[in-house]
């Protein structure tokens, strides 16, 4: 079994503001990330796929098919968006990198079978790099 | 004469929207960068200073003084801000990387003499990296 | 005047083999780069443009137009090619990074006026990164 | 137990062309990677070793010995080569990054005991970065 | 469960010199790393934390608290130090990256409960990048 | 004329301590960089050469010859050294990156004619990256 990973980029803005906190708690917990007008990042996501090498193509995953899936499901959804205002999933949860990771994992998992029947190859892991210093990782 | 460069980072969001264009022209010229809610970037700026080596310190520029100047004048001004809504200079001009560079150059030039009397060392150049692919450069 | 730079990537293979050298001289001068079947690189090119900020768009250069020009003239020409065998310009000169830089500069300069009449903005500089250690730079 | 990783680079060219596909299928599946003259990459491989810290040297693995093994077995074999034409293992399988990873893992595993008797430390994992966007990973 | 990673940097110098080896053996095993006056690196460490997303904050770990812990326990201890001469732990063991990793893991593990009671979230992994080519990884 | 640049790495340690300052002034000016036992960096230097393309080799500079010159003159001199204690030039001046740059420029300029008679190609510029944030540049 081999793990194949591929990276995609998008730029978006967000504001960290909890629905369960008071205004003062939000300022204390999130600091300048709670700034009312939001701020932005160049996000980089890494999608990892696990499977066996296909003897015909010599590949674990058809990269064109993976690109289509990730671009239509994730990149076009989040690129150049203000996550809090424009995405229904962030009307009820905070667009932290952790929640963004869980959303991306859930959306790719749902769309996976239509592109890769029988989960061959299988979705294995999502990583998001918010900046060069901060990364989250969700196993599927 | 030696050139000394130092990099600083900040995250901000912006929307590209010209005051001189119609709504349709804005959409045509700026595409998804014209998205009404803005989007964001991890900006990296490089400030370059030119001067002679001071025989006492062996340095061209006192980095602590430079850090104070750039942080108070630039980083604290733009970090975690939605440039269009929160900064007066972008009420009348578009927050493209080019205009941001001109603003940073103007603001550093104005504040320079209070930190570096006689322009020793001299402000030489500003670079802004908006993403890994896009850079602008303004000579002073 | 502001300098705006943008990077593009392509992968290609080449063989360093001089038409003016004997086989033995070629092996001595180019070493393993003279290997008869060629070898490859992930090339990264940086195209720099110099001009004034347009008051309407807030930009020095229309990036969509620049992308069209560089992609059609350079990236599509060299991407996934074996430079020695497939490009007429390298039938008579060696595809070193230096000659590749001169070719790219020449081709962009020729095509420039059709995309940017009156050289506004002007083509300023080409850089090629052959690996992380090796770079060449051609001023226009 | 500690995992120690070390990176090595080489440049090579390849052509993606399946022996099981027709010419037309090869063009459809591999696109420009099926270009008849091949193209190239700067490959970066990461070799990971797992073991306990030796009390004498304070190290998990003797890096000089690891360098000798990886350089003689892998780097000298693939550096500056056209994989399809010059390597017998790619006469019968396609030199995709996946197959290259399997070959590197197999060759290091075979040579390992002569450098590290008793598999102390043990070969743990091979990663190959074909470009900044694409990575494969093979556990041993 | 989500893994959250954050990177920190410090600069330090060290000398590789075993207490169990003769002078000649030290020179043979460590080469120029045994140079009597030491040499230095820009170290980058990555601290990874595993846990569930807190419904209030949308986060796995309070980054301000993590920063306080890692900075006070690790960065302030090792930054701008000559590890062999200034740190008691390296009076009796060699400051290789492996031993440095074990020290960092041990010190973070000891201090963890005071910042994160009940190990929520849990310390998961330490990585140290000594240079771009060399990395070690310690699981907790 | 084309500019060709090539990067080299070395690891060294230094202490910033002025011979013209009191102990207290040294602590105030240099802070933790004045730490009595020194600290270290992974230095990266970029040597740039300017010249015309040689019609025979298609190159501006013979890279093997440049490597020999820079390695023997600079890398072997400074790699794995404690600059203050082991290099005579830093007995009388502070090993700041600025002074290191001037030393490298002077030493390469002196050795240049023996490798490149008639200064063809010419030494053009030295850059030193002390960390990812700090860079100095000396024109020749």
Identify the band that residue E105 occupies on the pLDDT scale cut at 50, 70 and 90: very high
Q: Could you tell me which residues come within 8 angstroms of residue D65 by beta carbon, excluding any fewer than 6 positions away?
A: D115, D116
Chain F residues interacting with chain C (CB cutoff of 8 angstroms) = 1-7, 53, 55-60, 62-64
- How many CA atoms lie less than 13 Å away from B112 in the CB half-sphere? 21
Per-residue pLDDT tens for E26-61?
Answer: 999 999 999 999 999 999 999 999 999 999 999 999
Q: What is the mean pLDDT of each run of 10 residues along chain F (140 residues)?
A: 97 96 95 94 97 96 97 98 96 96 98 95 98 96
Task: Answer yes or no: E23 catalytic.
Answer: no
Active-site residue among C80, C85, C98, C137? C80
Query: Is the CB of residue D69 less than 8 Å from the CB of residue D108?
Result: yes
* All domains in chain D, ordered by first residue: 2-139 (3.30.479.10)
Q: Which residue has the tokens 């099926």?
A: D34
Burial classification of residue E99, based on how many CB atoms lie within 10 Å of its CB (0-12 exposed, 13-18 middle, 19 or more buried) = buried
Write down the pLDDT at residue C50.
98
pLDDT of residue B14: 96
Assign residue E119 a region: left if phi > 0, alpha if psi is -120 to 50, beta otherwise? left
**Tens of pLDDT, residues D21-78:** 999 999 999 999 999 999 999 999 999 999 999 999 999 999 999 999 999 999 999 9
* pLDDT range class, residue A32, cuts 50, 70, 90: very high
Between strands E39-51 and B122-129, the pairing is unpaired
d(CA F136, CA B6): 9
Chains E, F: CB contacts under 8 A, how many?
74
CB-based contact A120:A59 (threshold 8 Å): no
**Closest alpha carbon to B111 in B67, B64, B62, B70:** B70
- Cβ of A102 within 8 Å of Cβ of E59? The answer is no
Per residue in A49-101, pLDDT (tens digit) is: 999 999 999 999 999 999 999 999 999 999 999 999 999 999 999 999 999 99
Q: What is the pLDDT of residue A48?
A: 98
Q: What angle is formed at CA A51 by the lines to CA A45 and CA A54, rounded to 5 degrees?
A: 120
- Give the pLDDT of chain C (140 residues) as one tens digit per residue: 999 999 999 999 999 999 999 999 999 999 999 999 999 999 999 999 999 999 999 999 999 999 999 999 999 999 999 999 999 999 999 999 999 999 999 999 999 999 999 989 999 999 999 998 999 999 99
DSSP string for A87-114: -GGGTSS---HHHHHHHHHHHHHHHHHH
Nearest to E41 among F11, F85, F86 (CB): F11
Per residue in D88-97, pLDDT (tens digit) is 999 999 999 9
pLDDT at E68: 98
pTM: 0.94
As a whole number, the mean pLDDT across chain B is 96
E strand residue ranges, chain A: 2-14, 39-51, 81-82, 122-129, 134-139
**Which distant-in-sequence residues (6+ apart) come within 8 Å of D105 by Cβ?**
D123, D126, D138, D140
| CA distance linking residue F39 with residue E19, whole number of Å | 22
Reading the block at residue A1, the tokens are: 């079994």
Q: Indicate which of E57, E67, E68 best probes the interface with A, i.e. most A CBs within 10 Å of its own CB.
A: E57
Per the residue annotation, which of D23, D80, D110, D137 is the catalytic one?
Answer: D80
D62/chain C closest Cα distance in angstroms: 27
pLDDT recorded at residue A106: 98
Write out pLDDT tens, residues B114-139. 999 998 999 999 999 999 899 999 99
Q: Are E101 and E129 in contact (CB under 8 A)?
A: no
User: What is the model's pLDDT at position C13?
Assistant: 96
Residues of E whose CB is below 8 A from D63: 134
Residue of D nearest to C81 (CA): D39
Subunit partners of chain D (3 or more CB pairs within 8 A): A, C, E
Residue F36: the pLDDT is 93
pLDDT for the residue A108: 98
Report pLDDT for D55. 93
For chain B, state the CA radius of gyration.
17
The dihedral formed by the CA atoms of F66, F67, F73 and F77, expressed in degrees to the nearest 10: 160
Active site residue B23: no
Of A20, A98, A132, the CB nearest to E53: A98
Model confidence band, residue E87 (pLDDT cutoffs 50, 70, 90) = very high
A105 and A70 in contact (C-beta within 8 Å)?
no
Average pLDDT over residues A103-121: 96
Rounded to a whole number of angstroms, the distance between the first and last alpha carbons of chain C is 16
For C103-125, the DSSP string reads HHHHHHHHHHHHHSGGGSSEEEE
Chains touching B (at least 3 CB pairs under 8 A) are A, C, F
Please state, rounded to an integer, the average pLDDT across all residues of chain A.
Answer: 96
Assess contact for D56 and D13: CB atoms under 8 A: no
Which chain F residue's Cα is nearest to B7? F133
Which residues of A are the active-site residues? Answer: 33, 80, 130
Give which of A73, A102, A81 is closest to A38, Cα–Cα.
A81
The pLDDT of residue F108 is: 98
Does the beta-carbon distance from C5 to B134 stay under 8 Å?
A: yes
CB atoms within 10 A of CB B52: 11
* Torsion angle of the four alpha carbons D60, D64, D68, D71, in this order, in degrees rounded to the nearest 10: 90
Mutation pick from C14, C26, C30, C37 vs chain D, by most beta carbons of D within 10 Å, is C37
Contacts of D31 in chain A (CB under 8 A): 64
Class of residue B106 by CB neighbours under 10 A (exposed 0-12, middle 13-18, buried 19+): middle
**Chain E: nearest CA to A24, how far in angstroms?**
13
Averaged pLDDT for residues B7-22:
96
Residues of B in contact with A82 (CB under 8 A): 13, 35, 37-39
**Interface contact flag, C101 F7, Cβ < 8 Å:** no
CA distance C133 to F61: 15
Contacts B13 to A, Cβ<8 Å: 13, 37-40, 82
Cα separations in angstroms, F5 against B114, C45, D100, E137: 37, 14, 31, 34
SS3 E23: helix
């Amino acid at each position: 079994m081999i793990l194949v990973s591929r990276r995609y980029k998008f730029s978006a803005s967000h504001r960290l503001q909890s629905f369960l906190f008071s205004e003062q708690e939000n300022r204390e917990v999130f600091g300048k990330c709670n700034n009312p007008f939001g701020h932005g990042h160049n996000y980089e996501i890494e999608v990892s796929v696990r499977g066996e090498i296909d003897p015909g193509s010599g590949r674990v995953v058809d990269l064109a098919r993976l690109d289509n899936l990730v671009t239509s499901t994730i990149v076009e959804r989040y690129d150049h968006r203000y996550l809090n205002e424009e995405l229904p999933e962030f009307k009820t949860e905070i667009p932290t990198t952790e929640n963004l990771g869980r959303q991306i994992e859930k959306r790719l998992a749902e769309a996976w079978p239509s592109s890769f029947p029988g989960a061959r190859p299988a979705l294995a892991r999502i990583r998001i790099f918010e900046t060069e210093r901060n990364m989250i990782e969700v196993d599927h």
